[in-house]
Amino acid sequence: MEEDRSTLHSTFSVERTYEASAKRVFSAWSDPKARLQWISPGENFSTTYIENDFHVGGRDVSRFQFGRGDEYVADARYEDIVEDRGIVYTYTMSHNGRRISSSLTTVTIAPMKSGTHVVVTEQITILDGGDKVEYRQSGIAGQLDQLGVFLESEAVN
């Protein structure tokens, strides 16, 4: 008997404006030490990098652990990087060893007169009901909020 399979497709964007230069915002994404300080999707999450190779064609594999036993692994490949302007990457997300989604994500970094506007757009395919679009959108919004806190701090530049 063949197992039931399903896919759900969605696209969403999350936007933030920061009082920081485009160079500083880009650096927060490209430096793995800096990124570890803001990338966890919320409280009670811990994040570790298994691999981080920030260049076109490079892989970025991170593990998020939540609560007791829940583990998420994001396995990304950088498709395009334009210094201080944007990043495009594809990634799969697994939860406790089960693949739950595949995404194409575009990070647009736009300098403004007094700061930088960031738009993260994700085109997601959720596999077999393993995730919800609103959870992913909320997670990215939380990450961008934490990026704002990081950019206001004197943390790694």
The pLDDT tens digits for 144-153 are 999 999 999 8
What pLDDT band is residue 157 in, cutting at 50, 70 and 90?
A: very low
pLDDT band for 32, please (50, 70, 90 cuts).
confident
**pLDDT value of position 90:** 98
Over 80: is that where the pLDDT of 43 sits? no
pLDDT band at 27 (very low <50, low <70, confident <90, very high): very high
| Fold annotation for 7-154 | Alpha-D-Glucose-1,6-Bisphosphate; Chain A, domain 4 (3.30.530)
Dihedral class, residue 6 (left if φ above 0, else alpha if ψ from -120 to 50, else beta): beta
Question: What is the structure's pLDDT at 137?
Answer: 94
Q: Where are the domains of the chain?
A: 7-154
Count of other CB atoms within 10 angstroms of residue 120: 20
Q: Cα separation of 107 and 130, whole Å?
A: 24
Considering only CA atoms, give the Rg of the chain. 16
pLDDT number for residue 155? 47
131, 122 contact by CB (below 8 A): no
Q: What is the pLDDT of residues 76-95, one digit of tens each?
A: 999 999 999 999 999 999 99
